Structure 1
Amino acid sequence: MIGRDAELAAMLGAVRHAPSAVFVEGRAGVGKTRLVAEFAADAARAGDARVVVGACQPLSEPFPYGVLLDCLSQCGDQLHDPGPVTGALRAHLPELADRLPPAPGALGDPEAERHRVFRAVRDLIRCLGPTILVLEDLHWADDETRRVLRFVMGNPPSGLSIVVTYRREDLPTGAPLGHAFHTPHGVTGVDLVLRPFGAVDVRAMVDAVVGAAVTTERFAEAVLAETAGIPFVVEETVRALCDPVRAVCTEEDVPQRILARIDVPVRVADGIREQVGVLPDAARSIAEAAAVLGVPETADVLGAMVGIATTEHLITLVKSGVFVEAAVNRFGFPHNIARRAVYASLPNPRRRQLHERAVAVLSGLDHAPLARLAAHARAAGMKAAWLRYTELAAEAAEETKDVLTAVELLSEVLADPELSSADTNRLAGKLCGYALTGLPGGALTARVEGLLADPRLAPDVRGEVHLWFGLLLQRETGELDRGAEEITRAIDLLGDQPERTARGMAAMAGPYLGTASIAEHRASLDRVEGFADQLPTQALRTALLATTLGGRLIVGDPSAWDRIDRLPSVSDVHNPDEIHHLARAHCNLADACSWIGHYSRAREFLRNGITLAEQVAATYVVGTAEATEVRLDWLSGQWTGLEQRIDRLIGTYANLLLTTDLYLTRGWLAAARGEWLQAEKAFRAAAGSQPTAQVFPVGVSATGGIAGMLLSRGETAAAEEHVERGVAVLRNKGAWVWSGDILPQAVDCYLAAGRVDAARLLVTETTAGLAGVDAPLAYAALTACRARLAAATGDREEAGVLYRKAIDVHRELGLPYRAIQLAEQAETEAPTDAAALDALAQSYDSLGATVDAARCRHRIRSIGVATPSPRGRRGYGSELSPREQDVARLLAGGHTNREIAQALFLSRRTVEEYVVKVRRKLNASSRRDIRL
């Protein structure tokens, strides 16, 4: 049983204090029967009273006393000393005739006879001893049953508890016992109203139906929206899925679409149609109109649909449970499955008639619902109106940043084989334009790809579709080569459109994708920029520069700074297209600056880019900016709340190439905190599955990150393998400008392996490769590597000078974490100073670099100095201490005691003690139950 623990406890508590009366109210399908079945089983196991269950039936003329007689007929073995009055029931209970006294003589007064029967029922129940009488669906009972129950509970036998279930909307009067029943003194009374489930319980129920805890939160929310959380409808809906286990856990499709494809479950449909079938004609017509309208509507709209006044009929519909008032003066079905059941029951001519009427009514509203009008026009066969409303609805959706809806709307029209070639080509261009401004994803990109199979496309439009499709693929992980192929096809088809050709060539020239060398990319950028003067508008020139300027800067081309002056100023752009391209230019420049080491300039470009992008709802541009901002915050030591931001952004931009940047920062953060499992997973996601799918310099930096993590754990051989792969990329691509995040790790790794010559060669190659290149980060890293080489070869004086220089340069760049690490390395080369190490540990702590701080404290302990601690150190009581928080975080991440000991430089025994404390303070029965 899901979600009814409190109600079950209340019922069991009531019957333990007999006499008692429990009333359970709830609409059809809400789970009353399931609850009382669980209750009856638990009460029977307790053994304090006999449990007798009966159910009323939906008969047009209920049998007098029907459910009570059914229950009493089961109890012959329990009768003890029935009184004389019980003989009045002999004719009603032939099963008990041999145990009951003789029937008394007739009184001749029907009211007196009825009173005697009532007394007989109460006395017979008394003879049963402690009894729990469960009566289901009391709304279908006859009036005599209600009266006798009211009579019995007015002065009940001491051991009696009654439990009744009912639907208020189906009661012939307003109360389950016919009139308001006030629990007498000495009788325990409980009134329960079963509500539909919320998202958590719906998810648990779906898991129970499929037999595995695999339901995604998104799917559960979709089921809740479709079924209103009514358990019976939830169960039947899930059972109607073709492949329930696969459907409920998929991340590849929109749950609403999966649910829309199933037929309305038969048992649900039968119940809904029965409810609607007994309605008066006018009320039924309103229900049919609401089924076609699709969403709850006002009384005025419903009235206009059927041409009658609706107030009286809406009251009937709400009282019967067919309708609910979903919002103030908006009426509709309690859940979408109910609406679909009524819609499916309509003959096609009736549906078409109502859809036509919906177009007429909705188009006259002050704020016409364009997407709904398009759907109604299509269903009514009104082709011209469908096309008109679809275009208007797509434009409105794009203005509200709902790009997927805009694309879906146009896709439906483009799928119509009767659409003219002129309309097809015009709408195809619109669809691609919408797609490129939003967030690409499987469904959206597939829509653009589907256009390529349309024979109505003109060659120039087909080339444009190839171009947009290629650009979308380049934004999605793992599709780089395929994207390049599509762009190449586009360039071949767009020979007479220089602006489109330039856009395609610019995308191909991007140095951060593919395996071509930096020299080749610079030559390509030169060729693309030759088109700039041929472009007729400033917007098109800005679009071209948005790609080429970032491309030049990210490879360290010093001329990029002068070329940036070709961009219009932020205050001079007003056209939405130009604002969009200028936003892209600023965000691309911010990204380039963040990679080569111009961090303050990166922040300036980022501020302008985000402001511009938000003006025109350029969602993808904002996404790239947010990824860059996260990395800048990591580099500058602003780590508070960074993990949560990264996780949120990865969820928002799932399946897009920009997530590799987010995974890189996630890996850096996890490695600094000793979360090695998460760090390795994140670094691998950032690096890509293969070189052709890699984003440079993200992949190179991720390789450096995982190598540094392995080296810190003493796994030199494994680190060396990653270093060799990363260095090979730098050599093959000539990308020494991006060496800042792998060069220090590579040199440390070579020195740890005793390969001094390899370290020296790499420093020499990097020095030559950086000649004439604008790359502050790479130069800073090169200085640090020279310091390490000098120390490794015994030149301590030179090492000291170079370390001080490297530390100063990193501080000037705004890289506090790397500066502290260099200060620690410099300290390692000198006589150990406990005070200096403690200062370093505190600096690491201020950032959140758990592993580094623990390493410094371990070094202090290893030289026999007690770890300094401030006087009056606070006690943490039931709260976790900072070290316990570190242990808890690593436990929650799935680390073993050995891995925790290694990360925090503690003994296994000490870690075991911490684990016990953490479990006790978090009330966790096992380490697997620890959640932060």
Structure 2
Amino acid sequence: MTPPRAGSPVLVGRDDELDALLDAVAGQPSVVLIAGEAGVGKSRLVRELLHRPELAPLRVLTGFCQPLREPFPYGAVLDALRTVGPHLRRASLSPVTGVVSPLVPEIAEHLPEPPTRPDDPRHERHHLFRAVRELLSAVGPALLVVEDLHWADDGCRHLLRFLMSDPPANLTTLVTYRREDAPGGMPLGSAYRPPAGVASALVELRPLDVAGTHDLTTAILGADAVPAGFAAHLHERTAGLPFVIEEVLRALPDPDWRLLDAVEVPALLRDAMAERLDRLPATGRRIAQAAAVLEVPADEALLAEVGAVAPDRARTALTHALHSGVLHETGEVRYGFRHALAQQAVYDTLTGPERQRLHLRALRALEAASPRPFMQLAEHSRRAGLLDDWLRHGEAAADRALEVGDPSTATRLYQRLLDEASLTPSDVDRLAVKLGQVARGGIDQHDPRATLERLLDDHRLSTAARGEVRLNLGFLLIRQFGGVRHGREVLELAIAELGERPELAMRARAVLAQPFFGAVPLAEHARWLREVEVFIAGCDDEAVRYSLLANQLGSRTCVGERGVVDELDRLPDTSTDVAARRHLARLHCNLADAFALVGHFDLARDSLDRGLRLTVGAGVPFTAGTGQSTRIHLDWYTGDWASLADRCERLLEEYRELLPVAGEVNLVLGCLAVARGDWDAAERHLAGAGVRSAENSITPVALGGFAALTRLWFERGDLDRACAEADRGLELARSKGVWAWLGELAPAAVDAFCAAGRVGDAEELVEELDAGLRDRDAPLAHVALKACRALLAAHRGEDAVPLLEVARSAADALGLRYHSAVLAERTALVRLERGDGAAVAALGRVADRFDALGASRDAARCRHLVRGAGVATPSRRGRRGYGNALSPREQDVARLLARGRTNREIADVLFLSPRTVEQHVARVLRKLGVASRADLLA
């Protein structure tokens, strides 16, 4: 057999993946994501794609993310723009593109003068995003390639999400990443789904099977075939990873499968690299070893300095390393390894003393860099054994990451630093406090929680710092599933330990004053609330005051206290102080949630817009998450359901472990499922809304969950279960004592109680609600009270139509489209019972309203009632045909089929006959091109 080539001359085992990429690129605008583990061939697939003639009309722009990234946002995308200057000469660019000039000086001469820099950082970021989008559009049709997105900074992820969510018409964005190394398994930092009209492809690269290993081996060796035994053993030893296969074949003096039995794959890789290093001159080896220690691509001068190669010999040494295939040019005048495994292989050839010496040189070389690469300085200090420097640079890197809005990196660094056994007590105090402060504003809660719990038993932690650590631990616990009760206990302990730090103790009191946690009575929250009010009145520190108001104003608003709105005019729009700006962001997002709970939806949206703007670049993903869940709940109330379920699923994917966000999102998903008759999904999501453990719930969310469960069992005809869920919810409401939160539960409970013959219980509830809402500013609950009175009147046989109309008008005034439709249905039913002939047509109109919302179960119920009244359902003849597309009714059937429902179950949900469902199922399967239900489920 011939000696192995440098690589396969043909792409092996990736035809389907390549076709999928070509199809996606052909339909601009488009988005392509290529996922796969290290060594599986992502970059090889991209290279093959770029050489295809179909891509000739596209301008290819490439950027690379690095593993030891500095906290400098947008780097990979900005690097990709460095070559576009000549293509901008004839472009008519808006002034906003000038903001790119200082960031990409290579194209500055082709850009307008930068506009005046805005005072608000979020506006500055928005200008940059718009500018990048316009430049990409101007040089299009273009293909933007960003490799190794799992190493991207948060800013780069945000920019890419912006481009992918609203891409120029002539742009394809392609990214490669390792899912296992991406934060939370999501390369963009959160779940992404392409918008309508954007072609997309997600290509998951898998290792090759035995046949693929055989084909790749023959291609690399230039042979017609290789022994089947060799391919099988090679696959066993390499797990089918193309890069590892290539490296093993290079390392073998002869492709004899018997050699594989004696050598482990990692050793072969190291041996292969060692062999190639040995063929290099000494200066070339030192350059390669320097690159392995630096880990990120570097220029010639830095490689020479770290490798101790004289400047006049550096270029020749680098050329040898490049020609040998040890190093590769990764960008303009930047050199590194083709793959992380190659870098590790060279690094593993160094002895311990050699590594330490090279890391020390790298440290000294990088200390003079500007701006200082703190992340790299920290890593080299640690590996050089300079623990003082590791602490200094590591802390600086974490602080810098926090400044630029990357709390996840900061959290990881603080945790790693705290793992050092040689830290002094003052170091432990300082880092522990910083960890707690950044963790409580981030998404990752469990790992910081474990570190903080361990620190409480650390003898080096001072008493003063221990109270603050416990405070931050309490903040983390109270937002975790099952952690509310324990979190309150921890916060009370923290108050006792923070006697000499009243401002921190007051922050704990402000959280304990928030009434929407658990089953604690409102009177206990009010005690804390009064203490915080007194403190705020005498507080001159802006950041402390805003941090307390962020909890206090929302707490007062959500229980229906009047006058809070009048206090908002005294709040600034923003602050130059980062800490104050973060508190203002939380303040407005908390207020938005409180306004939404009581039914002030316009005020909620205004506060939410202000709060979310303030979160931009502030490094508070938890606050941003709570704001997004509030927006989702607002959209549920106001009937903006078009893409609501998809948005819920994306947000839930990102914030699944955070109770305040996940609980609210699960509630909305559960309510949507009830309206669509998807009972299993409804029960599953409502279980995540806090109904299983009221004392560890977000109380108003749990009450909404009980309301939805009451409706669910009422719709399924199980009045006992419906009443039982209503009783559980009312027990929580009475224990809490906040009647402003019964906007959904009260009408559902009255409906169930009346239907079950428990009219006295329904009347008692209405009286309690009436008393509880006196002097309370709670529009949603007042609408519910009107609805409850109307439902009681209807059950008693009284003229309920005027009361129902009053309730519906109140719902319309708040923009409650779904609630209004429910009340309109009930009004039509009352009229139908009285023999009003116009009621049937009214029911038909209500069905159309439900259909427009997406409440298919409710729409089907209305049409069933029309049929039950002995009136023929209006003919659909004359309406538009759907051809091979699914009609709305067929979409309902398809959705239930995909849930594994039988024809009988579908018929029950949609109020259809089994025969009609059978016909719908047949059309659905035909239109979707599947032969059976099993194929559809697959």
TM-superposed deviation, 1:729: 0.9
Q: Which amino acid aligns with 1:648?
A: R
Question: Which residue does the alignment assign to 1:912?
Answer: 918
Q: Which amino acid aligns with 1:606?
A: L
Report 1:48-447 matches (<5 A).
204-205=206-207, 230-231=241-242, 233=244, 265-306=266-307, 307-308=309-310, 309-447=313-451
> In 2 relative to 1, CA 893–297 (structure 1 residues): closer, same or farther, beyond 3 Å?
farther
**8 A Cα contact 1:228 1:334, kept in partner:** no
> Alignment length, in residue pairs?
704
TM-superposed deviation, 1:310: 4.2
TM-superposed deviation, 1:864: 3.3
TM-superposed deviation, 1:236: 12
**8 A Cα contact 2:520 2:695, kept in partner:** no
TM-superposed deviation, 1:458: 1.7
**8 A Cα contact 2:363 2:381, kept in partner:** yes
Equivalent position to 1:614, from 609, 613, 616: 616
TM-superposed deviation, 1:628: 0.7
Q: Quick check: 766-775 or 342-351, which moved more?
A: 766-775
Equivalent position to 2:884, from 878, 888, 891: 878
Report 1:512-551 matches (<5 A).
512-551=516-555
> In 2 relative to 1, CA 754–398 (structure 1 residues): closer, same or farther, beyond 3 Å?
same
TM-superposed deviation, 1:708: 0.5
> In 2 relative to 1, CA 367–892 (structure 1 residues): closer, same or farther, beyond 3 Å?
farther
Question: Which residue does the alignment assign to 1:647?
Answer: 649
**8 A Cα contact 1:630 1:642, kept in partner:** yes
Pairing 1:856–2:862 present = yes
TM-superposed deviation, 1:423: 2.9
> In 2 relative to 1, CA 579–206 (structure 1 residues): closer, same or farther, beyond 3 Å?
farther
Question: Which residue does the alignment assign to 2:593?
Answer: 591
> In 2 relative to 1, CA 415–372 (structure 1 residues): closer, same or farther, beyond 3 Å?
same
CA displacement, residues 728-783 of structure 1 (integer Å, 9 cap, x when unaligned): 11122223221111111111111222222222222222222223322221121111
Q: Which amino acid aligns with 2:865?
A: R
Give the match's secondary structure for 2:909.
helix
Give the match's secondary structure for 1:697.
helix
Q: Give distance in 1, aligned partners of 2:898 and 2:639.
A: 24
> In 2 relative to 1, CA 773–206 (structure 1 residues): closer, same or farther, beyond 3 Å?
farther
Q: TM-score, normalised by structure 2?
A: 0.71
Q: Which amino acid aligns with 1:843?
A: R
Pairing 1:4–2:19 present = no
**8 A Cα contact 2:825 2:846, kept in partner:** yes
Q: Which amino acid aligns with 1:807?
A: R
Give the match's secondary structure for 2:619.
coil
CA displacement, residues 572-597 of structure 1 (integer Å, 9 cap, x when unaligned): 74322222222222221111111111
Pairing 1:679–2:686 present = no
Question: Which residue does the alignment assign to 2:719?
Answer: 716
**8 A Cα contact 1:205 1:235, kept in partner:** no
CA displacement, residues 5-49 of structure 1 (integer Å, 9 cap, x when unaligned): 749999xxxxxxxxxxxxxxxxx9989xxxxxxxxxxxxxxxxxx
Pairing 1:604–2:615 present = no
Q: Give distance in 2, aligned partners of 1:719 and 1:756.
A: 15
Q: Which amino acid aligns with 2:533?
A: E
TM-superposed deviation, 1:847: 1.3
Q: Which amino acid aligns with 2:633?
A: R
Equivalent position to 1:749, from 738, 747, 752: 752
Pairing 1:764–2:782 present = no
Q: Percent identity?
A: 41
Structure 1 unaligned regions, length at least 5: 11-27, 32-195, 210-226, 238-262
Q: Which amino acid aligns with 1:863?
A: A
Q: Quick check: 363-372 or 309-318, which moved more?
A: 309-318
TM-superposed deviation, 1:510: 1.4
Q: Give distance in 2, aligned partners of 1:823 and 1:286.
A: 78
TM-superposed deviation, 1:315: 4.2
Q: Give distance in 1, aligned partners of 2:18 and 2:464.
A: 71
> In 2 relative to 1, CA 783–229 (structure 1 residues): closer, same or farther, beyond 3 Å?
farther
Give the match's secondary structure for 2:742.
helix
**8 A Cα contact 2:582 2:614, kept in partner:** yes
TM-superposed deviation, 1:537: 0.9
**8 A Cα contact 2:293 2:359, kept in partner:** yes
TM-superposed deviation, 1:620: 1.6
TM-superposed deviation, 1:647: 1.2
TM-superposed deviation, 1:842: 1.4
Q: TM-score, normalised by structure 1?
A: 0.71
Q: Give distance in 2, aligned partners of 1:857 and 1:477.
A: 41
TM-superposed deviation, 1:450: 3.2
Q: Quick check: 601-610 or 863-872, which moved more?
A: 863-872
Question: Which residue does the alignment assign to 2:216?
Answer: none
> In 2 relative to 1, CA 556–922 (structure 1 residues): closer, same or farther, beyond 3 Å?
same
* Root-mean-square deviation over aligned CA pairs: 3.1
Question: Which residue does the alignment assign to 2:808?
Answer: 807
> In 2 relative to 1, CA 897–279 (structure 1 residues): closer, same or farther, beyond 3 Å?
farther
Give the match's secondary structure for 1:419.
coil
Q: Give distance in 1, aligned partners of 2:784 and 2:460.
A: 56
Pairing 1:783–2:786 present = yes
**8 A Cα contact 1:3 1:201, kept in partner:** no
Q: Give distance in 1, aligned partners of 2:393 and 2:289.
A: 24
> In 2 relative to 1, CA 486–846 (structure 1 residues): closer, same or farther, beyond 3 Å?
same
Q: Give distance in 2, aligned partners of 1:410 and 1:872.
A: 67
Q: Quick check: 693-702 or 536-545, which moved more?
A: 536-545
Question: Which residue does the alignment assign to 2:894?
Answer: 888
Q: Give distance in 2, aligned partners of 1:700 and 1:438.
A: 27
**8 A Cα contact 1:596 1:738, kept in partner:** yes
Structure 2 unaligned regions, length at least 5: 1-10, 20-37, 42-175, 180-201, 212-237, 249-263
**8 A Cα contact 2:40 2:206, kept in partner:** no
The higher-RCO structure (CA 8 Å, 6+ apart) is 2
TM-superposed deviation, 1:358: 0.8
Q: Give distance in 1, aligned partners of 2:826 and 2:12.
A: 57
TM-superposed deviation, 1:699: 0.4
> In 2 relative to 1, CA 235–728 (structure 1 residues): closer, same or farther, beyond 3 Å?
farther
Question: Which residue does the alignment assign to 2:114?
Answer: none
Question: Which residue does the alignment assign to 1:636?
Answer: 638
Q: Give distance in 1, aligned partners of 2:298 and 2:924.
A: 54
Question: Which residue does the alignment assign to 1:727?
Answer: 730
Question: Which residue does the alignment assign to 2:129?
Answer: none
TM-superposed deviation, 1:791: 1.0
Q: Give distance in 1, aligned partners of 2:325 and 2:721.
A: 67
TM-superposed deviation, 1:673: 2.2
CA displacement, residues 196-249 of structure 1 (integer Å, 9 cap, x when unaligned): 99987766449999xxxxxxxxxxxxxxxxx99943649999xxxxxxxxxxxx
Q: Give distance in 1, aligned partners of 2:874 and 2:669.
A: 32
CA displacement, residues 660-691 of structure 1 (integer Å, 9 cap, x when unaligned): 01111111122222222222111111125312
CA displacement, residues 42-81 of structure 1 (integer Å, 9 cap, x when unaligned): xxxxxxxxxxxxxxxxxxxxxxxxxxxxxxxxxxxxxxxx
Question: Which residue does the alignment assign to 2:930?
Answer: 924
Give the match's secondary structure for 1:449.
helix
Pairing 1:834–2:840 present = yes
Q: Give distance in 2, aligned partners of 1:233 and 1:443.
A: 33
TM-superposed deviation, 1:363: 2.5
Give the structure with higher Rg (CA).
Answer: 1
**8 A Cα contact 1:202 1:234, kept in partner:** no
> In 2 relative to 1, CA 327–887 (structure 1 residues): closer, same or farther, beyond 3 Å?
farther
> In 2 relative to 1, CA 928–527 (structure 1 residues): closer, same or farther, beyond 3 Å?
farther
